[in-house]
Amino acid sequence: MDFKSNIIVEKLPEHIAIIMDGNGRWAKKQGLMRVKGHEKGTKAVRETVEGCAELGVKNLTLYAFSTENWKRPKLEVQTLMRLLVSSLKGEIKTLQKNKIKLQAIGCIENLPSKARKELNEVIEKTAHNDHMTLTLALSYGSREELIQTVKKISEKVKNNIIDSESIDESTINKHLYTRNLPDVDLMIRTSGEQRISNFLLWQMAYAELYFTDTLWPDFRKENLFEAIYEYQKRERRFGKTSEQL
């Protein structure tokens, strides 16, 4: 089936978030080292970004490195950081051509200085782009994000900038790393695992979850289009009944 031509442009998810999983298993299946899976995974990243840009999806967030990923073997962590730097260097032209703004969420200060420098350069150079926002979650953990949010808000309460009685959902939204992004509409996880693994917990409150057995290095535009097509078939009720929609 040609999923792309069956996608209704007016009903595109505003924000897609992806847990790119299965790089290690992909490599193992081929008898290769885990890092080869990550290298292959960068092609899937490119395909996904291009696919979203082609359709007109406004926001794409990729879980590239979690706070827990620091516990992986040193060589693997180094490879992931190297791939981040080389991808940023290699993709800047494509980002500019497609008017894609890059941003990062997470404990960016924990990244090696070379990665931070490259990241900041691309963020600055693409800041004016307005066709799509690509957010990389790097050294990211949702609970940590919520802790930081609570700290920022309590500081403002202490300094009488915020009245604690007035705190509502929008107060939280404005203090999250994702403050400039809408809620996640569609969350995709590859490789058959069915978990959300500390990713955008608050932002995914009403997200449709889509799980596929495809391993991340095998993920192509066609897989993305299928996920969006499936999303559009679902009825999102936000707590209401079908009749009320």
Q: Binding residues for ligand FPP, per CB under 6 A? A: 20-25, 38, 41-42, 45, 62, 64, 69, 80, 83-84, 87, 136, 191, 216
- Between 191 and 203, name the residue whose CB sits nearer to ligand FPP: 191
Q: Classify each residue of 175-199 as buried b or exposed e, where b means 16 or more C-beta atoms within 10 Å of its C-beta.
A: bbbbeebebbbbbbbbbeeeebebb
User: Closest-CB residue for ligand FPP?
Assistant: 24
- Between 22 and 141, name the residue whose CB sits nearer to ligand FPP: 22
Beta bridge partners of 18: 62, 188
Strand 208-211 versus strand 186-189 pairing type: parallel
Distance from CA of residue 87 to its chain's centroid? Answer: 16
- Between 35 and 186, name the residue whose CB sits nearer to ligand FPP: 35
- Among residues 2, 21, 23, 223, the one annotated as catalytic is 21
For residue 104, what are the contacts with CB-CB under 8 A and spacing of at least 6?
119, 123, 135, 136, 137, 138
- Between 134 and 153, name the residue whose CB sits nearer to ligand FPP: 134
Residue 130 appears among annotated catalytic residues: no
Smallest distance, ligand FPP to C-beta of residue 103, A: 13
Nearest to 61 by CA among 13, 121, 19: 19
- Among residues 2, 59, 69, 160, the one annotated as catalytic is 69
Residue 69 appears among annotated catalytic residues: yes
Dist CA 93 CA 79 (whole Å) = 23
Smallest distance, ligand FPP to C-beta of residue 22, A: 4
Kindly list the distances between the CA atom of residue 116 and the CA atoms of 12, 66, 88, 106, in Å, as whole numbers in the listed order: 32, 16, 11, 12
Smallest distance, ligand FPP to C-beta of residue 161, A: 36
Smallest distance, ligand FPP to C-beta of residue 160, A: 41
Catalytically active residues are 21, 69
